[in-house]
Chain A
């Protein structure tokens, strides 16, 4: 589904990703871990098409398409979803109106008819249950005045509505208490299928107790320096990142 080959990226002239290789197949859950500043969020941003990042080299193919050639909106329409680490507050735009526009633009791109208000609302009701989000939250302006947990829940709700094939969760656990974490993780798990894949970007192993990864990759200094299974995440939780850094630095 997703094939990243030797991806290099920089922001404001500073090289951050220094050659990432990663293959993600349908049905898989990949965790990207690593210390602060290792490039985890940059990777998520580059995949979603954030324009302030420059791609300096490498390739990313998504279901056979050159992902890097696509605009952010076309990536979303092709099935890539980024759950933001810091969801943006947008006063004046209600979550419902925003999502209706988004869902229908995605449908139009895929050659499907626009949903009318009734069918949109019925899908919305169904997905709301999934992520345990309240109607009152959705009629408010997008994320405005939402708590950290509400924002993250709204991200997962949007993900449910857009039904992506590849979901990238960027530090979705940050700022969440354990109850909110459980609700968010449950939502993600319920959305999982054999056809879609998830990349979980996180600093801590905590989230991975709930969203169990098939593969764990450790990003350090712009490269994946170690890959393994969920046991690797346990080991990181126990021992911290220093041994990874030492290992990586000694190789160089």
Chain B
């Protein structure tokens, strides 16, 4: 069991900074270190949210205080040789970068830099100073999210990817963030910067998984910029156990005529918070957001999404679905901003939940703020039990109750999956969903 020693979590994160600086060696002189210090400064002001509105239903403070010592905030390098490659998505080929407890594992990674400039972020600080200066921290700078600040303070590594102008890249970038929590608690601050240059098309897949039974905490930030006419498919997949605490911010900025398809899949975890913020900076942007969460036990999932329509003629569509079993809890908060200038915006949002027990709960909150007057916006959220009529229909055809139930839950879930165009990934997700409901696959 975890040690029951209460710590002052805010003070701890502040105090550890000098240790962190020491192990950075030469990197302290790089410009990004100034950003770290600024972030720390701001974090000192704000601290870990306790009763903050944005974290009303999702309070990590207690979990972090009770379940972690943070004695080893900056672990030495690990390799995967001792735990095999179960975390790998079968048949999914691409540029693979593996991080274990936040540290880049070169021996597990393989990627080519011919179509994309791709490397561990720690190398990019010195090798790509201009891109870093232009983009790093630029999209999350106005974000006063304490966890994003904490990430900016302690982040060291992750993925840097710059997809060149008009490059159509069919091989996805696959990032595996593995927490090795076998011997001790695992803590990491993954950080990614993705720059999709104009006219490019590419896919990024972030996969989080944990090995071992000790607690793990990961605090991630992914910054994405999608330039004019570019298309980016972004996936975030968490297939985690009850000992896993994760908070992550994906902050994207879209330029004219660009498209983002963002997918979020969460299959379990202790407390999981996904923040997905997309800003449409210019006209004719398309934003699709698809999410699925399947929870049981005492898992808690919180999906906060935000799309900010700033200029005219843009489109956003959001579909988030969840099934909550046993004592699991969920939060969906979907913000849609349509600024005064953003006329002719079409924005749609839908959140659908099935609660399988009386103990499972969901708080679903659509939040539409519209200042423009010529727009089409709609939202809907439904939360309910199994559809008894549909269940009866299947049973009336000779299908037993459990099987009928499984078919319906599976069908409810894979509705989200139909938007996944990378076949091996779709197969992998389908397999997880099918297994969850003990159902034959597609």
Contact = CB atoms under 8 A, between A and B. Distances in A.
Interface of A: 48-52, 71-73, 75-77, 81-82, 84, 87-88, 90-93, 98-99, 101-103, 105-106, 109, 141, 158, 162
Contacts of A71: 395, 400-401
Interface of B: 387-390, 392-401, 403-404, 407-408, 410-412, 414-415
Given A50-B392, A101-B407, A91 B397 contact: no
Contacts, number: 73
Contacts of A105: 398-400, 403
Contacts of B396: 48-49, 72-73, 75-76, 81-82, 84
Contacts of A50: 392
Contacts of A87: 393
A43 B217 CA distance: 58
B387 to A, nearest CB: 8
Contacts of A49: 395-396
23 contacts: A48-B396, A71-B401, A72-B396, A73-B395, A76-B395, A76-B396, A77-B398, A81-B396, A84-B393, A88-B387, A88-B389, A90-B390, A90-B393, A91-B415, A92-B412, A98-B394, A98-B399, A101-B399, A101-B407, A102-B399, A105-B399, A141-B411, A158-B397
Contact of B397 (A51, A52, A102, A141): A102
Contacts of B411: 90-93, 141
Given A91-B411, A93-B411, A106 B393 contact: no
A199 to B, nearest CB: 15
A139 to B, nearest CB: 13
B397 A93 contact: no
B407 A102 contact: no
B322 to A, nearest CB: 15
A91 B321 CA distance: 14
Contacts of A75: 396
A98 B397 contact: yes
Most chain B beta carbons < 10 A, residue from A51, A52, A84, A90: A90
A99 B394 CA distance: 9
A123 B407 CA distance: 23
Contacts of A158: 397
A76 B395 CA distance: 8
Contacts of A92: 410-412, 414-415
A101 B393 CA distance: 13
A49 B392 CA distance: 9
Nearest to A79: B398
Contacts of A48: 396
Nearest to B415: A92
Contacts of B397: 76, 98-99, 102, 158, 162
Nearest to B407: A93
Contacts of B393: 84, 87-88, 90
A172 to B, nearest CB: 15
A92 B140 CA distance: 38
Given A101-B407, A102-B399, 19 more contacts: A49-B396, A71-B400, A71-B401, A72-B395, A73-B395, A73-B396, A81-B396, A84-B393, A87-B393, A90-B393, A92-B412, A92-B414, A98-B399, A102-B394, A102-B397, A103-B398, A105-B399, A105-B403, A162-B398
